Chain A
């Protein structure tokens, strides 16, 4: 299978007063055409930065220090802004976390969608406006013609996120990146938005890259899951295999901390400690200080990512754990 998006050895650094820190460190992964990949991790794991890097939207003081990002075989790293602009919004689009902050408060919703179409396709203003209304209907907004004339603050959070999605799919991109698309919404709306993303993916054959801190969100729908920790990929696996048997203690910890309606537990298990600061990483394995299975040897060297068929993990004790 030739990948739609192929990321190789991607390192994104941010210049700080304490020197450059790598928010994403030597990350490699593929997304196939029409595939649904979930990237999971806590805040600061580098998942959002990965998405921004793919879109060419990393801004100073951040920069792509090394690596390659190919979309349909075309190298995006180092591509001139003029060429990158034609890819953004047309072949690859992104939905952001805060639908209120991510929409321009002084522009009508319909205009915000129509302008994306007009800059990519040779269509009249009237045709673009009509398509914006159609798109609002497609994402399940009632009375789309009326809503197209509304301003963002006149809509509910869920409506705004639907409008963001309409904007992103306006030019039928091959890849849709959704960065925490439901985090700012309440639970019932979350489910609706996830259903919408799934149905749009099936209908348009888009690949979907979902970035979330919530493993539960990817559980039922994603084809594959990639777990990130402190800028590194620690585990990659088909969703079912990951849930059946995680190979990395961090993934196992994340799975444990998903509430289960079937099991009554007095306290929800949590992973002790916090994600280390990128400028003060612990020696050896980055997860070591929080790991239940850590041994003295874990602090000597950062374990490399090892592949086992379709799975990969970056834990030196993976086989012991798999047997445990």
Chain B
């Protein structure tokens, strides 16, 4: 197992190197002169030239690349042109918001997605199954954005149960932070819940008709125990793949949700940076998201091994 983990970690390194290379290359890949684009139509030639030096564009590509990697190793992602501060600092400030939102939405997705799927599978072809699957289809079909707006209108504006947006740091008020993040997290989770519920249902149906489920019942174990310990333990293996996809969808989902609920997270940081052509921030954000996706896939592979001894002990 330790060897497997080590091997997976090592094999993630070239992927991350490639990802950082691609993020770095953006500025050289955009058509035209990035400095001129950033400076805007009204800028003078002198201003553009200054900006070019500030961005390091006056130096050759390879020199910049070496510097970029050097800076990266020391945690320096460059300076934001618009925010007038280090990119790493801006990200460090925004990242906790996105992580909190993502974690909250992930917990909701797991609890309700797996829960609905298991209940639907156990009560296959009954009204319970119908209701679970109707909720799942609605979740998948309704766009996050529209649902988020609907939630704001109903629960925040009309009923006043939740704030319409904004963020309270956990350090200041943990309950307030949870309340503020509830609507965004539900909006972000709902589509994933639908997807996961449907996958869980089919994975469970597949496992429930296996012989070892009958063996477990023949031992005199209670039905719920057979379902949760024996059936779900096996059904989780294919669901891990789905979880990887769901996490990727969530990362892109946060961009929209943070904008709707005016949460000061990574998503909004990157959207603003794109609108204003703030390349250093785009580069840093892109690298961070790509690295996160690589790590998600790494965790998925490790989860496989943890859940399935056939992977762990395969020779």
Partner-B contacts on A (CB < 8 A): 55, 57, 81, 85-90, 93-94, 96, 98, 101-107, 115-116, 119-120, 151, 153-154, 164, 167
Contacts and interface: CB of A to CB of B under 8 A. Distances in A.
A116 B219 contact: yes
B211 interface: yes
Contact of B309 (A96, A119, A151): A151
A116 B218 CA distance: 9
Given A101-B211, A104-B233, A104-B234, A153 B218 contact: no
A309 B149 CA distance: 82
Interface in B204-220: 210-212, 214-220
B217 A57 contact: yes
B7 interface: no
Dominant secondary structure at the A interface = mixed
Contact of B214 (A93, A102, A115, A154): A102
Interface in B61-117: none
B218 A57 contact: yes
Contact of A94 (B218, B221, B229): B218
Contacts of A115: 219, 221, 229
Nearest to B216: A104
A89 B310 CA distance: 27
B127 interface: no
Contacts of A116: 219-221
B40 interface: no
Given A106-B234, A151-B313, A154-B313, A93 B216 contact: no
B210 A106 contact: no
CB-based closest 7 A-B pairs? A89-B220, A88-B220, A101-B211, A89-B219, A116-B219, A151-B309, A102-B211
A115 B220 CA distance: 10
A87 to B, nearest CB: 7
Contacts of B307: 106
Nearest to A59: B214
A106 B218 contact: no
Contacts of B308: 105-106
Given A104-B216, A105-B309, A119 B234 contact: no
A119 B219 contact: yes
- In this complex, which of A87, A88, A94, A104 has the most chain B Cβ atoms within 10 angstroms of its Cβ? A104
